[in-house]
Amino acid sequence: MKTHGHRALITGINGQDGSYLAEFLLDKGYEVFGTIKRNSVSENQTARLDNVYKEIRNNLFYADLCDLSSLISAIHKSRPTEVYNLAAQSHVRISFDQPIYTTLSTGVGTLNLLEAIRIIDPTIKMYQASSSEMFGNSVDSDGYQRETTPMNPVSPYGCSKVFSYNICKNYRKSYNLFAANGILFNHESPRRGSNFVTSKVVKTAVQIKRGIKDELALGNLDATRDWGHARDYVKAMWMILQHDKPDDFVCATGISHSVRDLVDYTFSRLKINKDCVKTDQKFLRPEELCNLKGDSSKIKNTLGWTPECTFEQMIDEMIEYWDKKL
Q: Is residue 317 assigned to a domain?
A: no
Q: How many CB atoms lie within 10 A of CB 203?
A: 24
Q: Is residue 110 assigned to a domain?
A: yes
Q: Is residue 283 assigned to a domain?
A: no
Q: Is residue 284 assigned to a domain?
A: no
Residues near 174 by beta carbon (within 8 Å), at least 6 away in sequence: none
* Active-site entry in 127, 133, 171, 256: 133
* Active-site entry in 70, 131, 164, 199: 131
Listing DSSP states for 221-262 in one string gives TT-EE--EEHHHHHHHHHHHHHSSS--EEEE--S--EEHHHH
Read off the CATH number of the domain in which 141 is found.
3.40.50.720
Per-residue pLDDT of the chain (326 residues; tens, 9 = 90+): 455 589 999 999 999 999 999 999 999 999 999 999 877 555 677 889 999 999 999 999 999 999 999 999 999 999 999 999 999 998 898 999 999 999 999 999 999 999 999 999 999 999 999 999 999 999 999 999 999 999 999 999 999 999 999 999 999 999 999 999 999 999 999 999 998 999 999 999 999 999 999 999 999 999 999 999 999 999 999 999 999 999 999 999 999 999 999 999 999 999 999 999 999 888 887 776 778 999 999 999 999 999 999 999 999 999 999 999 98
Q: Specify the 3-state DSSP secondary structure of 215.
A: coil
Q: Is residue 143 assigned to a domain?
A: yes
Residue 157 falls in the annotated catalytic set: yes
| Cα 309 off chain centre by | 16
What is the pLDDT at residue 4? 59
Q: Is residue 93 assigned to a domain?
A: yes
Name the residue range of residue 177's domain.
7-189+228-254+293-308
User: The whole model's pTM is what?
Assistant: 0.95
> Which DSSP helix (H) or strand (E) runs through 180?
strand 178-184
The structural domain count of the chain equals: 1
What is the pLDDT at residue 40? 58
Q: Is residue 260 assigned to a domain?
A: no
| Cα 184 off chain centre by | 7
Q: Is residue 94 assigned to a domain?
A: yes
Supply the Cα-derived Rg of the chain in whole angstroms.
19
Q: Specify the 3-state DSSP secondary structure of 109.
A: helix
* Active-site entry in 157, 165, 233, 321: 157
